[in-house]
Amino acid sequence: MTKDEQIQLLKERNSELEKRFEDMQRGNLLNTYLTIDGQHKSFNEQLTIGVIVDENKQQKVVGRIDLFASKDAKEFDRARWWLENYLEQSKNLRELYKMLTEEEKKEADNTASSFDSVREKVTNELNGSRKGISN
């Protein structure tokens, strides 16, 4: 094998490795986007005040954070952190979405809607097939 052939072979291998690396990075971007998007929805859902019916058919208020709870209760601190950082987190999520390819954006959009469908089914099951009543 000549020196030129060796150089050409190395260039081809390098190109293939670069493509594999880009593909890995792209997959990580999509997975990261889906993870963050799902957490945003989950956090917002947890902070939405509503009434659910538990397994004992008792109504339970969810999503309400007590401002005057014990200082050891972390719910207020966690909710405050989320509310204070939501806008910045949302901007970051939108920027991440812009980095996705068109194909990944379609997958992200379809996956997000199927997550919502699954979340609704699980919530209904946990609530004894009764939907929460929001305030």
What are the tens digits of pLDDT across the range 19-30?
776 766 666 888
34-50 per-position pLDDT tens digit = 999 999 999 998 899 98
pLDDT of residue 39: 93
- Rounded Cα distance between 44 and 46, Å, is 5
| Per-domain residue ranges of the chain | 3-48+61-110
pLDDT tier for residue 88 given thresholds of 50, 70 and 90: very high
Q: Which amino acid is at 77?
A: D
